[in-house]
Amino acid sequence: MAIPHPREIQTAVVDWLDDRYPFTKSVDEALYQRVPNFANAFYYCFGGMVFILIALQLVTGIFLSFYYVPDAGVPGNSPAYNSVLFIQNTQYLGWLIRGVHFWGANILIVMVLIHMARVYWTGSYRAPRELNWMVGVIMLLCVIFLSLSGYLLPWDTKAYFATEVTIKIAGLAPPAQLGAFIREVLQGGPVVGPATLQRFFTIHVFLLPAVIVLLMYVHFRFIRAHGISEPM
């Protein structure tokens, strides 16, 4: 019996998948779309750069979560802080992964602001793209919350007091009852402590990444439906 050629196997697998779902058609629709002449590579590249940075943050965050321990422990012996030290100083290439994650978070905020400034400057927020603009604003808030929640995870002195200030500012939201509720939810108790670390870890690793991935999908579907906006 002759051994089938790898290309024949590939074709058979693709045909088998296409019989059950139009994968080839979906990929073609996603990749092969004409880009308007006015959409030059520099002026319209910021959205794609934001997507690449978010993907990079998700990948490096997964690697960091393999070794990070979200446990405040006791003063002077914190598993969370010790795990960050292990990643930074002992784990192979841990310093690189953590550095990419840290600087990627800072660059991501800058690139999102530049992208939204470009969208505003070119009037791309106007009808029929208002909903996509709103989705982008929510994504900006998610990126900011990701940075704030991730800042506490090293559980060192700087992270502790910076987060305490952040929570106090959030607790000033009017009316007073709402501010107190927000502060209680974020802290998980009367003061910043182990419950706060656990909540920030859950928000940073599970909740916000899921929300931002969903919003990116919606964002791209709107772009595909409306096309790239022309300059004013």
Q: Model-level pTM?
A: 0.88
Q: What is the pLDDT of residues 140-178, one digit of tens each?
A: 999 999 999 999 999 999 999 999 999 999 999 999 999
74 falls within a domain = yes
3 falls within a domain = no
In this predicted model, which residue has the larger pLDDT, 26 or 125? 125
Q: What is the 3-state secondary structure (H, E, C) of 133-155?
A: HHHHHHHHHHHHHHHHHHHCCCC
In this predicted model, which residue has the larger pLDDT, 79 or 9? 79
Q: How many domains does the chain have?
A: 1
5 falls within a domain = no
CA-closest candidate to residue 151, choices 172, 141, 170, 165:
165
Please give the mean pLDDT across all residues of the chain. Answer: 91
Token pair listed for 137: 């604003």
Full domain range(s) for residue 67: 44-226
pLDDT band at 75 (very low <50, low <70, confident <90, very high): low
In this predicted model, which residue has the larger pLDDT, 31 or 179? 179
39 falls within a domain = no
Token pair listed for 117: 């400034």
140 falls within a domain = yes
pLDDT band at 1 (very low <50, low <70, confident <90, very high): low
Q: What pLDDT score does 7 carry?
A: 86
CATH number at residue 219: 1.20.810.10
Residues in the chain: 232
8 falls within a domain = no
34 falls within a domain = no
Q: What pLDDT score does 46 carry?
A: 92
22 falls within a domain = no
